[in-house]
Chain A
Amino acid sequence: MKTVLEAKNINKYFKKPVLFHVLKDINFKINEGEFVSIMGKSGCGKSTLLYILSTMDSDYEGDLYLNDDLLTGDSRNKLSYVRNKHIGFVFQFHYLLSEFTVLENVMLPAKKLGEKSVKEIEKNALEKLSILNIEHLAHKKASQVSGGEKQRVAIARALINNPSIIMGDEPTGNLDSHNADNVFNIFKKLSVEENLSLLIVTHDEDFANRTDRIITMEDGRIIS
């Protein structure tokens, strides 16, 4: 099976206020179509790990591979491009650009990538919105939709460039159980039907138990 994401011997230190070894020798792989969750107590380094994997944090030791390409040491511009094309991101808070419409928010990463015409991008964006059952919100302002809807818009935005992997930092942490369930089902569907890899950091045990694999972390190490 094809490996999408691989971390080899990743170590990270926080230098301020005192030297602190946050991540200790992290090794793991994520295969295509795998739905993985990361669990652990607050401060165990799981979010830190996620931001390293997402290429947003490049201050670490070790090697990071995406689709068997080494990303470690690439320039920031190259990493921005990789993020844009291969990684979809969903956060705990629904970071949408509030002055833009839902549709514009979803189209934004594709416009940035600039591989397709605006017409095609719009068509794709509407498709993604309809997969998530929110196509009726397309022309509303991002600030005017509810929390659960916002998170679905964020997922649609993460999907727009057909990424290799979707990462989430407690994407359900700020949602009620109904909406959390909804989001989980969407992720599950994407994993099964679209063969998409997912890596989700979560505190929610029910959520984690329903994923393919749980990575548990403690004090900066993977313990299972």
Chain B
Amino acid sequence: MVNWTIILNIAKTHLLTKFKQTAIAALGVTFGIGAYITLVSFMTGLNAMLDDLILNQTPHIHIYNEIEPSKKQPVDVYDAFKNSFNVVHSIKPKLSQKKIHNALPIIHFLNEKEEVKGAIPQIKTQIFYISGSIEIAGNITGIQPVEEARLFNFRDYIIEGAPEKLKNTDNGILLGSGIAKKMSLHVGDRVQISTINGDIFPLRIVGIYQSGVADIDAIQSFVNLKTVQRILGEAENYITDINVKLFDIDKALPLSKKIEQQFHLTAIDINTANAQFETGTTIRNLITYAVSVTLLIVAGFGIYNILNMLIYEKMNDIAILKAIGFSGKDVQYIFMSQAMIIGIVGGVLGLLIGLIFTNIISTIPFKTEALPTVETYPINFNGWFYIIGIVFAMISTFFAGYLPSQKAKKIDPVKIIRGQ
């Protein structure tokens, strides 16, 4: 039979008469939780931003024709050497076409699939940018600009101009910011490009592209699909790459395997292509939690200490409570509830401080060339962090209170009363 009103009343009185100590203990929890919320919101915000930087513009499945040697060399299929050990020196890659065979029906087939958000064609080719007598090597990619913007956040990386403008300009080009700077070109200017075969085409600059990766920006430009086909003198079904975006990123691996089997193409899923990002995110999260847990453990020791002292001070009270009929459990609950009150009050204050801090941080300007869309420090406001925070505060104070309260439970009143 536990009478909580009286237990909480005694706990409250103890806490209020030792207000300073209570406040210090609660502040320990407050700082721990506040730091946890701030850290975890900031770190996961940063993680999400870095991941987005890569993942947003990366297709979930990238389909293309790999230049590679045949897996089965002719000697392997010749019956006469079937049972012998064959060594082939100096294997060369198989001569195959760069274009994807039957690309348009494949795109159509993929777009019909339920799990596919969109599949769009690209043509990648090498060209030279011509500036007077100087030729600068570069890449040009033929795209469907509006579709790219819809599926791969292409718009975020166009710092001048718009995808629609490229779509509406037949000879338009979105020039990489690096190359534009090198050649002192601006929107509205003309730039000449030359194919590997030496054909020269004038294009009008309709926008500037900046991915944030300087090496890419120094060579990469985008034009319409048709423009590339015309430059290369190829037909309308000449497609070198297909990029697929899915609704659920986890389906990328099985689908890519299926595509490889079905069409005899190379299909790379996003996790295989970007395995290192997963690792980076995991380690950053690990560090965040390690720091937060350390802070809370320190706060826990503070509570443990203060409760221990309180119990020494209250030896007489404990003895008298036991003498007038409070059981060991009741006394334990008195001190446990003190720890929990400190934990809850400190924890809630910590959540508030975390919320305030993260709000302040999220307004601090953060401009970097690598991230054209980011203007302030990224913060991930996630309700789960707050739930984890308060649960963590309660768990740590529970353990910090448990040991001293266990001692209070075991105090023998006779020893205290007779010891006087």
Residues of B within 8 A of A100 (CB): 13
Least CB distance from A32 to B in Å reads 21
Residues of B within 8 A of A81 (CB): 1, 325, 327
Would A92 and B325 count as touching, CB distance under 8 A? no
Least CB distance from A144 to B in Å reads 14
Residues of B within 8 A of A96 (CB): 320
Indicate whether A177 reaches chain B with its CB closer than 8 angstroms.
no
Residues of A within 8 A of B321 (CB): 97, 108
- The interface stretch among B25-33, B75-83, B250-258, B411-419 is B411-419
Residues of B within 8 A of A57 (CB): 414
Interface majority SS (helix, strand, loop, mixed), chain B = helix
Residues of B within 8 A of A109 (CB): 324-325
A76-B327 contact in complex given A81-B1, A92-B420, A111-B3, C-beta closer than 8 Å: yes
Contact among B326, B413, B414 for A112, CB-based, below 8 A:
B326
Indicate whether B316 reaches chain A with its CB closer than 8 angstroms.
yes
Instruction: Please name the residue on chain A nearest to B16 by beta carbon.
Output: A99
Indicate whether A93 reaches chain B with its CB closer than 8 angstroms.
yes
Least CB distance from A188 to B in Å reads 23
Would B420 and A112 count as touching, CB distance under 8 A? no
CA distance A112 to B413 in the complex (A): 17
Residues of A within 8 A of B1 (CB): 81, 114
CA distance A99 to B420 in the complex (A): 20
Indicate whether B323 reaches chain A with its CB closer than 8 angstroms.
yes
Q: Mark B7-27, 1 if CB is under 8 A from A, else 0.
A: 000100110010000000000
Indicate whether A184 reaches chain B with its CB closer than 8 angstroms.
no
Residues of A within 8 A of B420 (CB): 92-93
Would B3 and A83 count as touching, CB distance under 8 A? no
Q: By CB atoms of chain B within 10 A, which of A89, A91, A100, A112 has the most? A: A112
CA distance A66 to B329 in the complex (A): 24
CA distance A169 to B316 in the complex (A): 16
Residues of B within 8 A of A98 (CB): 317
Least CB distance from B390 to A in Å reads 29
Would A56 and B323 count as touching, CB distance under 8 A? yes
Would B325 and A56 count as touching, CB distance under 8 A? no
CA distance A108 to B329 in the complex (A): 16
Residues of A within 8 A of B324 (CB): 83-84, 89, 108-109, 112, 157
Least CB distance from B57 to A in Å reads 65
Indicate whether A113 reaches chain B with its CB closer than 8 angstroms.
yes
Least CB distance from A78 to B in Å reads 9
Residues of A within 8 A of B320 (CB): 95-97
Residues of B within 8 A of A83 (CB): 323-325
Residues of A within 8 A of B316 (CB): 95
Residues of A within 8 A of B329 (CB): 77
Chain B, 386-420, CB within 8 A of any chain A CB:
413-414, 417-418, 420
Indicate whether B217 reaches chain A with its CB closer than 8 angstroms.
no
Indicate whether B142 reaches chain A with its CB closer than 8 angstroms.
no
Indicate whether A128 reaches chain B with its CB closer than 8 angstroms.
no
Would B417 and A95 count as touching, CB distance under 8 A? yes
Q: Mark A25-50, 1 if CB is under 8 A from B, else 0.
A: 00000000000000000000001000
- Chain A interface residue count: which class? 20 to 34
Would A80 and B327 count as touching, CB distance under 8 A? yes
Least CB distance from B194 to A in Å reads 91
Residues of A within 8 A of B14 (CB): 99
Residues of A within 8 A of B414 (CB): 51, 56-57
Residues of B within 8 A of A76 (CB): 327-328
Chain A, 70-86, CB within 8 A of any chain B CB:
76-77, 80-81, 83-85
CA distance A95 to B315 in the complex (A): 11
Would B330 and A112 count as touching, CB distance under 8 A? yes
Indicate whether B322 reaches chain A with its CB closer than 8 angstroms.
yes
Would A112 and B323 count as touching, CB distance under 8 A? no
Indicate whether B86 reaches chain A with its CB closer than 8 angstroms.
no
Instruction: Please name the residue on chain A nearest to B328 by beta carbon.
Output: A76
Instruction: Please name the residue on chain B nearest to A157 by beta carbon.
Output: B324
Instruction: Please name the residue on chain A nearest to B18 by beta carbon.
Output: A99
Residues of A within 8 A of B5 (CB): 111
Indicate whether B319 reaches chain A with its CB closer than 8 angstroms.
yes
Least CB distance from B42 to A in Å reads 43
CA distance A84 to B418 in the complex (A): 20
Q: By CB atoms of chain A within 10 A, which of B13, B321, B323, B326 has the most? A: B323
CA distance A56 to B318 in the complex (A): 13
Least CB distance from A118 to B in Å reads 8
CA distance A57 to B415 in the complex (A): 10
Would A84 and B3 count as touching, CB distance under 8 A? no
CA distance A30 to B317 in the complex (A): 30
Indicate whether B54 reaches chain A with its CB closer than 8 angstroms.
no
Residues of B within 8 A of A56 (CB): 322-323, 413-414
Residues of A within 8 A of B417 (CB): 51, 91, 93, 95, 169
Residues of A within 8 A of B327 (CB): 76-77, 80-81
Would B13 and A99 count as touching, CB distance under 8 A? yes
Least CB distance from A204 to B in Å reads 18
Indicate whether B6 reaches chain A with its CB closer than 8 angstroms.
yes
A99-B418 contact in complex given A56-B322, A80-B327, A89-B323, C-beta closer than 8 Å: no
Residues of B within 8 A of A77 (CB): 327, 329
Residues of A within 8 A of B323 (CB): 54, 56, 83, 89, 91, 95
Q: 16 A-B Cβ contacts within 8 A?
A: A47-B418, A57-B414, A80-B322, A80-B330, A81-B325, A84-B326, A85-B325, A89-B323, A91-B323, A93-B420, A95-B320, A97-B320, A100-B13, A112-B6, A112-B326, A112-B330
Known: A56-B414, A84-B324, A99-B14. 11 other contacts (CB 8 A): A51-B414, A54-B323, A56-B413, A91-B323, A95-B417, A97-B320, A99-B17, A100-B13, A111-B5, A114-B1, A157-B324
8 nearest A-B residue pairs (beta carbon): A84-B325, A80-B327, A95-B320, A83-B325, A111-B6, A109-B324, A99-B17, A51-B414
